[in-house]
Amino acid sequence: MSDPLYKEELRHFISAVLDEDVGNGDLTTQATIPADAILKAEMNAREEMVIAGIDIAARIIHAVDSAIKLDILVSDGIEVTTGNTLMRLEGNARNILTAERSALNVLQHLSGIATLTRRYVREIEHTNCKLLDTRKTIPLYRKLAKYAARMGGAVNHRMRLDDGILIKDNHIASVGSVINAINAAKKYGTSASTIGITVECDTLDQADQAVKAGADRLLLDNMSTEMLRQAVAEYSGKVKLEASGGVTLETIKAIAETGVDYISVGRITQSAPAIDIGLDYIV
């Protein structure tokens, strides 16, 4: 399981997180807690979840105080139930209290993404369809969000615009036709792309034009399940087929059962609620 950020990226991220939350110091803690006080605490799940970001949370705590003793009891990608202890801590009370919110924020947000993603994955696991994430992420948080989606069972789609050519409706409108857009993409070259030339299609007529012009993959946008079945019957084996647009937990199963290869869902990174995790102090 690879780290979501390179070492230097992680250092900058943690530094920015703590600068944002701590500022020039935790005034309340400094004012009320003796400097030599020792605290024991447990980080506990308050609802069922899929873990993502536990090591980052630990590194945030150690960035405040490397002497704090941590016992990490879970790993990213596993499911836990309400009441499970995720981590035990012991050390300087001031520093644990100062690090608490930043560590929890990251773990709650990333675990929220992983948990929602797993719910979507479960709806389609009886098919050969794969769940894809999208670029709908909080700015500067994309690598972490996509890591969390991966922990939930999704397959990462394009990380950035330089990861492949995806011709969308505005590109087509700008150059006049699907054929013009694909021809221009072919001349430009896509040797570094893992998705080849992907074309967003709103209609089956656009899909037919895209296939005939040499697209490698079709992004079937907001199509009905009947239209998706028609596209699968006509183009499966010729190009990869990806369904997208307004996909929900209630609709994804029927979409996957049409036979498409992929379903991309922006909600898993854009709208996942934070998971409830608490830091409970042991007296």
The structural domains of the chain, with segments of one domain joined by +, span 7-121+272-282, 126-270
Average pLDDT of the residues in 16-33: 96
Q: Which residues are catalytic?
A: 101, 136, 168, 200, 221
N-to-C CA span, the chain: 36
pLDDT one-digit tens code per residue, 266-282:
999 999 999 999 999 98
* Side-chain-side CA neighbours of residue 149 (13 Å): 30
Specify burial of residue 182 (Cβ count, 10 A radius: 0-12, 13-18, 19+): buried
pLDDT one-digit tens code per residue, 76-118:
999 999 999 999 999 999 999 999 999 999 999 999 999 999 9
Given pLDDT bands bounded at 50, 70 and 90, which one contains residue 192?
low
Q: What is the pLDDT of residue 31?
A: 97
Please check whether the two domains, 7-121+272-282 and 126-270, share a CATH topology: no
Task: Go through 157-167 and write b for each residue having 16 or more CB atoms within 10 A of its CB, e for each that does not.
Answer: bbeeeeebbbb
CATH superfamily, with its number, for domain 7-121+272-282: Quinolinate phosphoribosyl transferase, N-terminal domain (3.90.1170.20)
Q: What is the pLDDT of residue 195?
A: 78
CATH code at 126-270: 3.20.20.70
Rounded to two decimals, the pTM is 0.95
Checking if the pLDDT of 19 tops 90, the result is: yes
Q: What is the pLDDT of residue 1?
A: 53
**Distance (Å, whole) CA 201 – CA 182:** 13
pLDDT one-digit tens code per residue, 131-168:
999 999 999 999 999 999 999 999 999 999 988 899 99
